[in-house]
């Protein structure tokens, strides 16, 4: 709306502000506000948005406002807004978010095709986004008290446009003076060589792949490099796949660096604790930040080192909202800020391995260091394959259905029990049975809201959908024909625990999975039982296969591993190899017992190349075979993928939306010959087509060039909002997943 001559000109300073607006809202940039004086870029603010006052980040200086009639009006994206609105409050008790953090947000938003404001605000603590100046001051005083610091004088509170003045760059205080070094374990020759090479790589800020066998002492190498960063007055960021699975690491870090401030950042923290830890990192008071994927966005003004432990783990990829890879962002952030990054794993992701191979086999972008030997020269577990085909011929099919353990494996478990040693049984499926069925009429426990089965949980007698959460009591008889003889099909960890107790009378059986670790402190209590020797046989899912230092376990048994060998997901073999190798690494971590440590795998396909490489503990051979297959098939890392997802009221609406998107992509490709090699596959439903009464469809985009794919997505995605609006209520959501983990 044009201003008439009676509208007084605006004065003050224009400031571009990021607020949390999703890309599909049609407002993916900054909004314009007015402040009394210039504000530093990165300053946290509170600004009016509609009827609310929300948190924002100053993202640019638009200069003096001499005359509103000559200035584009961007207030709330409304073209007819007569004037800019004033900044409500400047949160100048905090220093601005630094240039390194802002560069990370810009890159991540562009690469993963999200709105910068949506990403920037979503990675800040939820409590921080709700605080005004007075509340923030109270939180800072609590943090001072918790850390034993003398709080600085509180700045004068300022409200509104008249008070919105420049917030000076707050000097970042260095960490405390180094304490006398703790008593350190002796290093192996491999550890010493790795540390020397890491010191050289740190000078050049080269990404390093630390390829170390399970039990080779990678953690000690990490901590030595952390100590070097702290001695230089810098901060260290340690990323782990799942913080709840590695309580030993957090305890070890705190014991190793007494007097240093160590904070954790992960979704398991309460809102208040997460805010306090984030503030400690942002103010430079925290020396070490230990966290899950979200911690890659921590504001660290004196960052000096990034470690990504178990870098291959799929947990580093966010699966909702902005589907970013924390591992990839860690590498980018380290390069951008000129600091060292260490990617550690016994089974690296194939993308990382390819980047660490010299040209022409790989890209040569990463420096690779090997630590193939266990500490104390302990042996890696011997891999024993149990051929189920032969056992079926010998004992019959019914025996294998009724008994989950082959006789040789059961004998090995009894042998460990008699010796007073521990065993671990891995079955990556929780619950009692995947499905209940009626042999009379064929009824199965399907979910009424999803195209999936409800899992039978015997302990609480429920049928529970692991996709939408819908649960009901187990019926007394078949809902279809009334037959009371409904039976479980297959087995999960709950049933396996029961069968183990029958097969090994007197054995102390424990179970760790998502069902047994819901309560606060329950995981820690169960892990303590394992470490104290109060459990003879531990049954668990992938939760127990990584990150744990079980000293008494000498046997690991993996059941039902074959399904991944023939999955439609091209990454399934890579995940299976990593899971089995990591699980086997829980055995024989005590060098005195390593010689008799074993990994047993029951399989119908003992001649499969994956098992041959696993038996030899030969990850390079496995990776070479997989990379060759992927190169021949044109799959990552030799191509680059994006997955367009749509959720709608009906499957027809979802497919129609994606079909229209494919037509728009074809139009763009005719206009840009450089995009002609990009393949847009026809839309298809995913394996689980319906979840919570919402139909889903997906469409794969494949490109031999990463830059070409990014340019196409940037030009293509703006049209989706118009298509979604035209579809009305039929299309609920759409999203793009760059570098998807599963197809």
- Which residues is 499 bridged to in the sheet? none
Helix, strand, coil fractions of the chain, as percent rounded to 5: 35, 20, 40
Rounded Cα gap, residues 120 and 118, in angstroms: 6
Q: Which segments within 65-118 are labelled E, that is strand?
A: 85-86, 89-90
269, HSE (Cβ side, Cα atoms, 13 Å): 21
* Start-end of H helices in 687-735: 706-716, 718-727
Rounded Cα gap, residues 35 and 564, in angstroms: 58
DSSP of 535-583, one letter per residue?
-SEEEE-GGGSSS---SSEEEEEE-S-GGGGG-SSTTHHHHHHHHHHHH
Rounded Cα gap, residues 4 and 82, in angstroms: 10
Three-class SS state of 251 = helix
Q: Please give the angle made by the CA atoms of 468, 470 and 471, to the nearest 5 degrees.
A: 145
Q: Peptide bond before 431: cis, by omega within 30 degrees of 0?
A: no
Q: At what angle do helices 99-111 and 326-337 cross, to 10 degrees?
A: 140
CB 33 within 8 A of CB 15: yes
Q: Is 481 annotated as a binding residue?
A: yes
In the structure encoding, which two tokens stand for residue 213, read together?
A: 């066998």
Three-class SS state of 573 = helix
Q: Is 646 annotated as a binding residue?
A: no
Rounded Cα gap, residues 70 and 289, in angstroms: 47
φ/ψ bin of 393: left (φ > 0), alpha (ψ from -120 to 50), beta (otherwise): alpha
Q: Is 478 annotated as a binding residue?
A: yes
Q: Is 465 annotated as a binding residue?
A: yes
CB 619 within 8 A of CB 585: no
For 348, counting Cβ atoms within 10 Å of its Cβ (0-12 exposed, 13-18 middle, 19+ buried), the class is buried
In the structure encoding, which two tokens stand for residue 384, read together?
A: 């024993």
Q: Please give the angle made by the CA atoms of 67, 73 and 74, to the nearest 5 degrees.
A: 145
- Which residues is 32 bridged to in the sheet? 16
How many residues are there in the chain?
Answer: 743
Q: Is 468 annotated as a binding residue?
A: yes
Say which DSSP state 684 is in: B
CB 421 within 8 A of CB 428: no
Say which DSSP state 531 is in: H
In the structure encoding, which two tokens stand for residue 23, read together?
A: 């890309």
C-alpha dihedral over 654, 656, 662, 668, to 10 degrees?
-110
Rounded Cα gap, residues 496 and 397, in angstroms: 18
Rounded Cα gap, residues 173 and 365, in angstroms: 35
**From edge to edge, which strands make up the β-sheet containing 462-464?**
455-457, 462-464, 471-473
Residues 6+ apart with CB under 8 A from 415: none
Choose among 508, 512, 597, 595: nearest CA to 548.
Answer: 512
Rounded Cα gap, residues 25 and 718, in angstroms: 11
Rounded Cα gap, residues 217 and 740, in angstroms: 32
209, HSE (Cβ side, Cα atoms, 13 Å): 25
Binding residues: 438, 441, 447, 450, 465, 468, 478, 481
Binding residues for Zn(2+): 438, 441, 447, 450, 465, 468, 478, 481
């Amino acid at each position: 709306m044009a201003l008439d001559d009676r509208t007084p000109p605006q004065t003050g300073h224009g400031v571009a502000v990021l607020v949390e607006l999703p890309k599909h809202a049609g407002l993916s940039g900054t909004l314009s506000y007015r402040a009394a004086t210039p504000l530093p870029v990165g300053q946290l603010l509170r600004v009016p948005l509609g009827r609310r006052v929300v948190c924002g980040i100053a993202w640019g200086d638009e200069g003096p406002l001499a005359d509103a009639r000559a200035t584009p009006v961007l207030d709330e994206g409304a073209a007819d807004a007569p004037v800019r609105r004033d900044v409500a409050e400047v949160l100048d008790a905090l220093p601005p978010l630094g240039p390194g953090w802002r560069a990370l947000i810009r890159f991540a938003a562009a690469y993963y095709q999200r709105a910068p404001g949506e990403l920037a605000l979503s990675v800040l603590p939820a409590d921080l986004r709700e605080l005004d100046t007075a509340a923030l001051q109270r939180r800072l005083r609590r943090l001072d008290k918790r850390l034993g610091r003398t709080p600085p004088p509180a700045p004068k509170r300022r409200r509104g446009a008249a008070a919105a003045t420049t917030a000076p760059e707050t000097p970042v205080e260095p960490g405390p003076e180094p304490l006398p070094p703790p008593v350190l374990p002796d290093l192996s020759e491999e550890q010493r060589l790795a540390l020397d090479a890491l010191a050289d790589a740190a000078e050049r800020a080269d990404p390093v792949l630390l390829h170390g066998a399970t039990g080779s002492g990678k953690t000690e190498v990490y901590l030595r490099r952390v100590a070097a960063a702290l001695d230089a007055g810098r901060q260290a960021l340690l990323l782990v796949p799942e913080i709840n699975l590695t309580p030993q690491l957090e305890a070890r870090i705190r014991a190793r660096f007494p007097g240093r401030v160590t904070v954790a950042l992960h979704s398991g923290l309460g809102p208040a604790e997460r805010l306090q830890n984030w503030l400690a990192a942002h103010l430079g008071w925290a020396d070490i930040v230990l966290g899950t994927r979200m911690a890659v966005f921590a504001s660290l003004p004196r960052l000096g080192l990034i470690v990504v432990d178990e870098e291959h783990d799929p947990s580093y990829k966010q699966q909702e909202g902005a589907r970013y890879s924390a591992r990839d962002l860690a590498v980018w952030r380290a390069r951008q800020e000129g600091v060292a990054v260490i990617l550690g794993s016994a089974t690296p992701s194939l993308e990382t391995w390819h980047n660490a191979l010299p040209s022409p086999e790989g890209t040569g972008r990463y420096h690779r260091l090997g630590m193939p030997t266990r500490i104390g020269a302990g042996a890696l577990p011997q891999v024993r394959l149990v051929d189920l085909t032969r056992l079926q011929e010998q004992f019959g099919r019914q025996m294998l259905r009724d008994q989950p353990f082959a006789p040789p494996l059961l004998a090995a478990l009894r042998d460990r029990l008699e010796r007073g040693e521990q065993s671990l049984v891995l079955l990556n499926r929780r619950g009692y049975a995947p499905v209940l069925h009626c042999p009379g009429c064929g009824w199965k426990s399907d979910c009424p809201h999803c195209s999936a089965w409800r899992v039978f949980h015997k302990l609480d007698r429920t049928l529970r959908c692991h996709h939408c959460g819908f649960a009901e009591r187990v019926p007394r008889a078949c809902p279809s024909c009334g037959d009371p003889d409904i039976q479980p099909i297959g087995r999960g960890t709950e049933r396996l625990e029961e069968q183990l107790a029958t097969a090994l009378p007197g054995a102390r059986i424990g179970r760790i999975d998502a069902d047994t670790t819901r309560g606060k402190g329950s995981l820690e209590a169960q892990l303590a039982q394992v470490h104290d020797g109060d459990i003879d046989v531990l049954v668990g899912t992938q939760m127990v296969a990584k990150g744990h230092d079980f000293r008494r376990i000498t046997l690991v048994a993996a059941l039902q591993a074959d399904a991944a060998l023939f999955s439609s997901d091209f990454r399934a073999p890579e995940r299976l190899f990593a899971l089995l190798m990591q699980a086997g690494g829980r055995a024989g971590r005590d060098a005195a017992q390593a010689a008799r440590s074993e990994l047993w795998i029951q399989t119908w396909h003992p001649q499969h190349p994956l098992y041959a490489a696993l038996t030899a503990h030969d990850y390079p051979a496995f990776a070479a075979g997989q990379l060759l297959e992927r190169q021949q098939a044109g799959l990552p890392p030799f191509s680059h993928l994006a997955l367009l997802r749509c959720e709608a009221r009906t499957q027809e609406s979802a497919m129609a939306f994606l079909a229209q998107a494919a037509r728009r992509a074809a139009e763009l490709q005719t206009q840009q010959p450089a995009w002609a090699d990009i393949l847009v596959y026809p839309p298809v439903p995913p394996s689980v087509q319906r979840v919570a009464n919402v139909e889903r469809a997906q469409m794969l985009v494949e490109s031999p060039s990463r830059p070409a794919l990014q340019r196409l997505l940037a030009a293509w995605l703006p049209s989706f909002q118009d298509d979604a609006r035209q579809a009305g209520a039929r299309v609920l959501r759409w999203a793009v997943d760059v570098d998807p983990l599963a197809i």
